[in-house]
Amino acid sequence: MATLFTRIIRGELPGRFVWKDDRAVVFLTIAPLRPGHVLVVPRAEVDHWLDADPDLLAHLIRVAQTVGKAIQRAYRPTRVGLAIVGLEVPHLHIHVSPIDSASDLDFRRANHGARPEELDEAAAKLRAALREMGCPEVADA
């Protein structure tokens, strides 16, 4: 059975994509820690990051770093945080989020009531930053 993320990648469920390539996608989480919080997800269904092919994992980190630079450009946070948790969905995903303190990575503080307009705005802001950086992998709106 396909994971929730596979269904988003296939277009069976909605997703606000900011990046697409042949191995990975990046989309906004529906429960952001802060505006601009995204998930870097491999197209392949890999449950645990320890089980990922090292080349795939390296690719995901490169994508996370590039998108992190776009987050820095778009939001100007103190830092851009990265976390691999893997408890929510059995499909490897890397959280990349603007942060100003360690408490900004507290998942108990996620905004489960984020409005669609807020998520659309964040996606547009990140796509614009990625385009400014010259990234051809920017997803169409």
The residue from 37, 59, 91, 93 that is catalytic is: 93
Q: How far is CA 34 from the centre of its chain?
A: 12
Identify the residue whose tokens are 């277009």.
Answer: 11
Q: Specify whether 37 is catalytic.
A: no
Q: Would you tell me how many other CB atoms lie within 10 Å of the CB of residue 48?
A: 11
Q: Are 13 and 7 in contact (CB under 8 A)?
A: yes
Active site residues: 93
